[in-house]
């Protein structure tokens, strides 16, 4: 039997590759790891994991059916662990870019309870930005 280690990658089908790439690289700090134009895929480095952006009108994206939207999203949300977690700085950066975000909250994740803020990407996907776990009281 195998054991699970961590999230390796996440694939998002997108309607606007340039806008989504700017959000994930510009606002969240991902970097372009690899592009496969024949397949219609841009892979972004997100710490130890990858976020793959696949245009819905490309060869790979067409296999997924209708484009994602408010009435039919790809997923509920995904979480990126970040450090340092500075809620005021995150909120300031998102506000400066016009990116919607939610309130600071304590949520449970892979490393236990910790601070988190939800942000919304340009195509309506919710991304949780999560700090390290809180020390037990």
pLDDT number for residue 24:
97
pLDDT number for residue 33:
95
Of all residues in the chain, what percent carry a pLDDT higher than 90?
50
Taking the C-alpha atoms of residue 25 and residue 1, their distance in angstroms, rounded to an integer, is: 37
Q: What is the pTM assigned to this prediction?
A: 0.78
Q: 111 Cβ partners below 8 Å, 6+ apart? A: 81, 132, 133
* CATH superfamily membership of 9-130: 2,3-Dihydroxybiphenyl 1,2-Dioxygenase, domain 1 (3.10.180.10)
Residue 15 has pLDDT above 50, yes or no: yes
């Amino acid at each position: 039997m195998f054991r699970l280690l961590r999230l390796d990658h996440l694939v998002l089908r997108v309607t606007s590759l340039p806008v989504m790439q700017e959000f994930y690289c510009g606002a969240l700090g991902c970097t372009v790891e690899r592009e496969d134009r024949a397949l219609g895929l841009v892979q972004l480095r997100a710490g130890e994991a990858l976020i793959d952006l696949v245009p819905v009108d490309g060869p790979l994206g067409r296999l997924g059916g209708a484009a994602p939207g408010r009435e039919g999203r790809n997923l509920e949300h995904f979480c990126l662990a970040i450090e340092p977690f500075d809620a005021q700085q995150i909120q300031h950066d998102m506000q400066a870019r016009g990116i919607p975000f939610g309130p600071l909250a304590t949520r449970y994740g892979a490393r236990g309870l910790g601070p988190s803020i939800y942000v919304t990407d340009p195509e309506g996907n919710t991304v949780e930005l999560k700090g390290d776990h809180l020390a037990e009281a």
